[in-house]
Amino acid sequence: MKKHNFSAGPSILPQSVLLKASEAIVDYNNTGLSLIEISHRSKEFVDIMENARSLALELLGLEGKGYKALFLQGGASMQFLMVAMNLLEKRAGYLDTGAWSAKAIKEARKLDDIYEVASSAEANYNYIPKGFDIPSDYDYFHCTSNNTIFGTQMKTFPKTNIPMVCDMSSDIFSRTLDFSQFDLLYAGAQKNMGPAGTTLVVVKEDILGKVSRDIPSIMDYKSHIKAGSMFNTPPVFPVYTSMLTLEWLKGLGGIAGIEKENDKKATLMYSEIDLNPLFKGFAAKEDRSKMNATFNLVNENLKETFETMLKEAGISAVNGHRSVGGYRASMYNALPLDSVKVLVEVMSELETKA
């Protein structure tokens, strides 16, 4: 039985992408060589990298606007430090909305002064702070658009006259936004793009080169821009699979096309959570994530029955993170609406058995 994969990451990928990627592992484009055997300096892979970077800018609407797209290694966790090394001169403002933003703050503080403009830690991050001030003399403002663990998502972003940096690891390419409001955004591939192993960074070139510190070459965005994401050996397979996923997304009508499907999935999921008395949502309603729905059983005595039903229905990876408990349905771009329907049917059936 093909499982309904609600994994928070590494997550589900389009079936067509998996098939094409698997073929390339054996023989890439009839070259007689595996994709993971060819040189990263070969024309075949240089074309892949250039296409992946170009597609990222095209889908985000940032072509010709002074941005560069990079595919790097080290995950979003590397970006916590890399952002600060490249942009932090005196102090910066960070919005604390979850585990990953807290880690970003911790890493940046190793270099200089960090100011938390607001935090929802006191409520176990079940909402997004609002109405906070961002000092205009800070080097940049950093936020996390979607919080995978807690199931919250920023619906709007503050207006500021300083560079805005955003960790979009778990909702990039999922909804239409004016992406030009961000001067730097980054996202690990393993949610909406590809397998773990590469991270997309999109940066406006004119914000770089303004810090006084000597940045190690491997940590300097300018090094990677100059080398076309080939400063060191890139993660060939994750970049290729990400390129295929971006091509798939473009074929669906881009971000606007997939957003319609994501809205349907989120509406169906949250309607069941709100209408079914056996379940209670974790995140504040106005801040609910369209990517990660977090919820709990009202009666824990039903836990064994519910989880048996989930298994029988072929539903995989809906257990919540230990910080929240309960359940988490991750509904990334590639998750079909039918999978959400199956989960909702199981939740509804549980109500009839209770």
Residue ranges at the known binding site for L-glutamate = 41
Measured CA to CA, the distance from residue 68 to residue 71 in angstroms comes to 10
Binding residues: 41, 76-77, 100, 148, 167, 190, 232-233
Annotated catalytic residues are 100, 167, 191
Q: How many CA atoms lie within 13 A of 211 on its CB side?
A: 25
The candidate with the shortest Cα–Cα distance to 285, out of 298, 269, 300, is: 269
Binding residues for pyridoxal 5'-phosphate: 76-77, 100, 148, 167, 190, 232-233
In contact, 297 and 278? CB cutoff 8 Å:
yes
Query: Which pairs with CB-CB distance under 8 Å and at least 24 residues apart come from 323-326?
Result: 323/99, 323/124, 323/149, 323/150, 324/124, 324/149, 324/150, 324/151, 324/282, 324/294, 324/296, 325/296, 326/282, 326/294, 326/295, 326/296, 326/297
Measured CA to CA, the distance from residue 354 to residue 348 in angstroms comes to 10
Measured CA to CA, the distance from residue 59 to residue 117 in angstroms comes to 31
